[in-house]
Structure 1
């Protein structure tokens, strides 16, 4: 896998509260820039392995639609999704920890799972720049939610 972005912040709210909010991916568009729309793709509860979402995402080059699957969820510590966007095959990893009482350390990472890409691929270079900028804004937005 190729790392695309990695950011971290402290949110002054209990870990379980932050986990519940961000793992309901229908909230993703409220805090992550460029998410045009996102909705549940099945009736499983949020933060459940097998839950799917349908997302419309603005990327360099235009809007893209993708399906996102929850592939790992360990409340309230870890949440991992994988998308089917061809040419990138994105993976998002969220980690939650309590460094001090009432505060959540939130780590957010994005990777490409597409084995045909290399670190030097044009799309990787463009995505790294774009996602790094968006991820910083996303953490500010997320902190403001709490």
Structure 2
């Protein structure tokens, strides 16, 4: 896999509250830049492996794209892993939560590409890396502010 972005942030709220908000991807567009909309495709709980979403994202130089997202791993309140069906990029998002006290936690967010082909590694993935690194930094700051407001 190819690492596109990796960032962490300390949040002054209980780890369960941070997980419940961030891991429920129906909230994702409220804090993560470039995500225009996201909606559940089924009635499964957000912590269920196999849960599916339909995400509309803003793509540099390509406009809007709709992406099917599937939960691959969910361990409340510590980890969420999703994989998207966006051609070329084949994104994998990993979010880890660590308790840092009764009212504090650390969240680590990673975006990887599952594409193993050489051509995208020299063309599309470097651009995606720059875009995702910026979006991740802004997104985690937004999430922190939202969760710390209560």
Instruction: Report TM bin, short chain.
Output: over 0.9
TM-score when scaled to structure 2? Answer: 0.94
2:134 is aligned to: 133
- Alignment match, 2:15: 15
Extract structure 1 runs of 4+ deviating beyond 6 A: none
The one-character-per-residue Cα deviations of 1:85-143 (angstroms, maximum 9, x if unpaired) are 00110000000001222101000000000111468422111011101111110011001
Q: Contact 1:118 / 1:124 at 8 angstroms: preserved in 2?
A: no
Q: For residues 6 and 120 of structure 2, what CA distance do their matches in structure 1 show?
A: 15
1:75 aligns with 2:76: yes
Structure 1: runs of 5 or more not aligned: none
Which of 19-28 and 115-124 deviates more? Answer: 115-124
SS of structure 2 residue aligned to 1:4: strand
Q: Is the contact made by 2:88 and 2:120 (CA closer than 8 Å) also made in structure 1? A: no
Change (3 A) 1:110 1:117: farther
CA-atom RMSD, angstroms? 1.2
| Residues 1:112 and 1:101: Cα distance change in structure 2 (over 3 Å) | same
Q: How does 1:1-146 map to 2 (within 5 A)?
A: 1-61=1-61, 62-117=63-118, 120-146=121-147
Looking at structure 2, the residues matched to 121 and 56 of structure 1 have their Cα atoms a distance apart, in angstroms, of: 26
Gap regions ≥5 residues in structure 2? none
User: Does the 8 Å contact 1:2/1:118 carry over to 2?
Assistant: no
Check conservation: 1:2, 1:119, Cα contact below 8 A: no
How many corresponding residue pairs?
146
Question: TM-score scaled to structure 1, two decimals?
Answer: 0.96
